[in-house]
Structure 1
């Protein structure tokens, strides 16, 4: 695919990262799929190599959002009727999620849900995501199905299969093989890569977890797992192993800098210390944790301990502005303090901090030589935006409809509010038809 020519985007504001000064009347020049220059609009406009000029001086230029944890197939459950509401987290899995959703997925459903999830994510300003697919009847080959759609959409993605032994040991091994083969197949791909992934301590034997970790290390991959999404897993580990989940991983010699955990809702203080000391990273899902009644993750404590954190939708509510609002508000209420989780911190979880949590530190920033993954957001709020309130204005008072442009690797996926890479109406109709059949 040819690399687009140079483009200069003039901005009303430029956010380079959550940790840097916000620049009014600055823009970016993009060339070769990377950020070639940033600076005052006048200087960029006067440069001889400015290329095509796009006037976004009525907008904010921001790094694209990083969705650190996604289940694209979860779209099939949006609005689904459940005869008897699950009584708890494990009941949610055993009585509903596993038999009625995950166990019924095939390649066609994987393709359809991937396409609509990409439409939703692009509309929400997400440029990079990490997806965890659990579809025990859809392997082998399910990750390649996902990858084909994702490449067409143009998003940057880390794709994995959630291997476990809840169906059988043989199916678990097939899941590990699915991940290993995909990791190898994506070497050299500029946008799509693989990830070794398992489910939890209560669906995987210690031997299986060790094997997954060893495979990940051999392949140079991270290892992902769901961690203490509710009190159920800590209770299971105490009853089975006499210790908490993070201690189980430590004693299996799995805990380390290659670990990407998700959820982390029910963590003891000692477990937070272990995660921080090991270099493990974690992704926070504020809204889906509420849906399953799992609890509220100790995110302020994790941040204080230095655990790298990202933010994810979990395939539940894929409006990333809503997810950021959840992270901004829920912890203030939980800790009874309006000073907890300031908007700049939440924006960091959604951009540069989230990129580091995924092991992709070059993403989530708009600085020279970084990948040109950016969005523009309308700045026409009823009250003025300035360098001091810009993060509050974005998180609390902007929505997907305010995302104008979406660019990944220097290529526009959305331009002036119009999706360029997928036919949204067609994908929506296909998703609706698939969901109707699936629900029946």
Structure 2
């Protein structure tokens, strides 16, 4: 049996009571959390451990959970830097339509490496571009996650509404409805693992109201529910999307998505910047989740999501980086602070605390992904996904509140990132891959993609 003890750290459990231990310990056994408590670990526990990690100078939190990303976009960072969403998409569709499984695998490896180094133990990815002859793209993302050792919530996305039929993407970038549905089902049956300790789950994820047909939305919802997996899409991201839905469907994005079966406790949507009070009430009543992406919303000038109002209404809210081409940082740890600052810009100094933002990034994300019983907090029986942040360095030494290091300060260096009891990052460095090799692969893949334009 593997047996690891983290001893003498500041422990933030993010449990239902918000329990924190100024000096506490966490015991891990066989990939799960065995115990969490105040004070130093008992001597008999220390003596029986295979490894004892000194918690001096460390803040211990659950591993962060990324609920929305487009990993393949790691290969197109720095493009269309001053564009709003629709213009940015039109600019980048030609490049994305030339990806293949090999390029996506390298891009995903680079993007997830940066996520891991910023405290992320679970990666949610939304992939929706599948060029003909591109190979097994979902499989390449699964393989990249396995190589790094992070937990993956992949989605098989899709687009079937090309420009000639009134959609935003060019016709060469979309699939047929039938092909998208067949491939979505195949991805679930091939890669989804519904077990408690699952390292890979797969959801079905038509891209957005302006890139998919109503038929694809309805039939994808039916398919996902018949297979017992979750649903994901973009919703209410920009004022342009609102105008598109009102002109094309005669209703708001939320009304439209509800009309095709897309509100429910098995659904989460990215962004949700432009939700009305009535929309928020419907999300809360149905248990529909939200992936909040504050930096991406700023990068594309989409606006600031009403996170305070969503949380007060009881909407499940998780945190997301979004595509690396609309958030070139690619870090999830920095989004905790971004969420705090964005909420306060919108709704005042008490709109969101650092602890609120940490909860969104952990338990909120677990709830959004349907895994609140397994990850998202430090409680006995849950999976051993933890981030150990160093707060005794020059950035945070002497800080009055260790949690403020994440919620208001510079992102603390990672002393350790642990996924299912196994170390993925140590002293800020990836331990299961060669970082120079990852960087070289990303550089090559980006150049190859650029050469295809």
TM-score normalized by structure 2? Answer: 0.89
Matches within 5 A, 1:48-197: 49-80=48-79, 86=83, 88-94=84-90, 96-100=91-95, 102-137=96-131, 141-167=136-162, 170-185=175-190, 186-187=192-193, 190-197=198-205
Q: Point out the more displaced range, 55-64 or 34-43.
A: 34-43
Deviations 1:18-42 (A, max 9, x none): 6422102211111111001112453
Q: Secondary structure at the match of 1:187?
A: coil
* C-alpha distance in 2 between matches for 1:176 and 1:44: 54
* C-alpha distance in 2 between matches for 1:217 and 1:342: 36
User: What's the counterpart of residue 4 of structure 2?
Assistant: 7
Q: Is the Cα contact below 8 Å between 1:62 and 1:374 reproduced in 2?
A: yes
Query: Is 1:24 paired with 2:22?
Result: yes
* C-alpha distance in 1 between matches for 2:358 and 2:416: 18
Q: Point out the more displaced range, 18-27 or 290-299.
A: 18-27
Q: Secondary structure at the match of 2:13?
A: coil
Unaligned runs of 5+ residues in structure 2 are 163-170
Matches within 5 A, 1:324-363: 324-335=336-347, 337-361=348-372, 362-363=374-375
User: What's the counterpart of residue 288 of structure 2?
Assistant: 280
Q: Is the Cα contact below 8 Å between 2:10 and 2:55 reproduced in 1?
A: no
Unaligned runs of 5+ residues in structure 1 are none
* C-alpha distance in 1 between matches for 2:8 and 2:428: 16
1:71: Cα distance to partner? 0.9
1:201 to 199, 209, 213: 209
Q: Is the Cα contact below 8 Å between 2:283 and 2:289 reproduced in 1?
A: yes
Deviations 1:362-393 (A, max 9, x none): 2111110010000111121545245xx22212
Deviations 1:218-268 (A, max 9, x none): 010111010011012221121122211111122223321111111101112
Q: Secondary structure at the match of 2:154?
A: strand
Q: Is the Cα contact below 8 Å between 2:391 and 2:402 reproduced in 1?
A: no
Q: Is the Cα contact below 8 Å between 1:29 and 1:44 reproduced in 2?
A: no
Deviations 1:8-57 (A, max 9, x none): 11132111116422102211111111001112453334325433222122
Alignment RMSD (CA, Å)? 2.0
Q: Is the Cα contact below 8 Å between 1:106 and 1:135 reproduced in 2?
A: no
1:170: Cα distance to partner? 4.5
TM-score normalized by structure 1? Answer: 0.92
Q: Is the Cα contact below 8 Å between 2:112 and 2:123 reproduced in 1?
A: no
Q: Is the Cα contact below 8 Å between 1:44 and 1:50 reproduced in 2?
A: no
Q: Is the Cα contact below 8 Å between 1:124 and 1:319 reproduced in 2?
A: yes
Q: Is the Cα contact below 8 Å between 2:353 and 2:407 reproduced in 1?
A: no
- Aligned pairs, how many? 428
1:384 to 398, 408, 431: 398
* C-alpha distance in 2 between matches for 1:188 and 1:283: 21
Deviations 1:308-333 (A, max 9, x none): 00010003222223211211112212
Q: 1:438 to 1:254 in 2, by over 3 A?
A: closer
* Runs of 4+, deviation exceeding 4 Å: 167-170
